[in-house]
Amino acid sequence: MLPLNENLSTMTLSGIRRFTSLAAQTPGCISLALGEPDFPTPEPIQAAAKAALEENLTHYAPNRGLPELCREISRYETGLGYDCTPNQVIVTAGATEALYVALMGVVNPGDEVIVPTPAYPLYRSILTAAGAVMVSMPTREDGFQLTKERLSACITEKTRAILLNSPNNPTGAVYTRESLEAVASLVSGKPIWVVWDGVYNQLSEGTVPELAPFRDLREQLLLCRSFSKPYAMTGWRLGYLMGPEQAMERLLLLHAALVAAMPTFLQKAAVTALHTDVSDMVESYTRRRAYVCQRLDEMGLSYPKPEGAFYIYPEIASFGLSDEEFCTRLIQEAGVALVPGSCFEDKGHVRLSCCCSQSALETGLDRLEAFLKAL
**Does residue 96 bind ligand PMP (CB under 6 A)?**
yes
Which of 20, 139, 145, 169 forms a contact with ligand PMP (CB under 6 A)? 169
**Does residue 231 bind ligand PMP (CB under 6 A)?**
no
Q: Other CB atoms closer than 10 Å to residue 54's CB: what's the count?
A: 9
Task: Please name the residue ranges forming H helices in the chain.
Answer: 15-25, 43-54, 67-79, 94-106, 122-129, 148-154, 177-187, 245-258, 264-274, 279-299, 323-329, 358-374
DSSP state of 349: B
One-letter amino acid at 328 equals: T
**Does residue 165 bind ligand PMP (CB under 6 A)?**
yes
Q: Are strands 133-138 and 311-312 parallel, antiparallel or unpaired?
A: unpaired
Which of 19, 82, 100, 120 forms a contact with ligand PMP (CB under 6 A)? 120
**Rounded least distance, CB 331 to ligand PMP, Å:** 20
Compute the half-sphere exposure of residue 317: CA atoms within 13 Å on the CB side of its CA. Answer: 11
Which of 77, 112, 197, 210 forms a contact with ligand PMP (CB under 6 A)? 197
Compute the half-sphere exposure of residue 322: CA atoms within 13 Å on the CB side of its CA. Answer: 6
Given the rule CB under 6 A, which of 148-156, 180-188, 226-234, 313-321 is the region that contacts ligand PMP?
Answer: 226-234
Query: Nearest to residue 57, comparing CAs of 343, 349, 356, 262?
Result: 262
**Does residue 228 bind ligand PMP (CB under 6 A)?**
yes
Which of 23, 31, 35, 194 forms a contact with ligand PMP (CB under 6 A)? 35
Closer CB to ligand PMP, 95 or 211, in the complex: 95
**Mutual orientation of helices 122-129 and 94-106 as an angle, nearest 10°?**
40
Given the rule CB under 6 A, which of 91-99, 107-115, 138-146, 266-274 is the region that contacts ligand PMP?
Answer: 91-99
Residues in contact with ligand PMP, total (CB under 6 A)? 13
Query: Nearest to residue 359, comparing CAs of 23, 40, 41, 38?
Result: 38
Which of 34, 137, 199, 352 forms a contact with ligand PMP (CB under 6 A)? 199
Which of 37, 65, 94, 172 forms a contact with ligand PMP (CB under 6 A)? 94
| Contact string 238-267 vs ligand PMP (x = CB under 6 A) | -x----------------------------
**Rounded least distance, CB 364 to ligand PMP, Å:** 20
For residue 27, say if its preceding peptide bond is cis, omega within 30 degrees of 0. no
Q: Which positions lie near ligand PMP, rule CB under 6 A?
A: 35, 94-96, 120, 165, 169, 197, 199, 226, 228, 234, 239
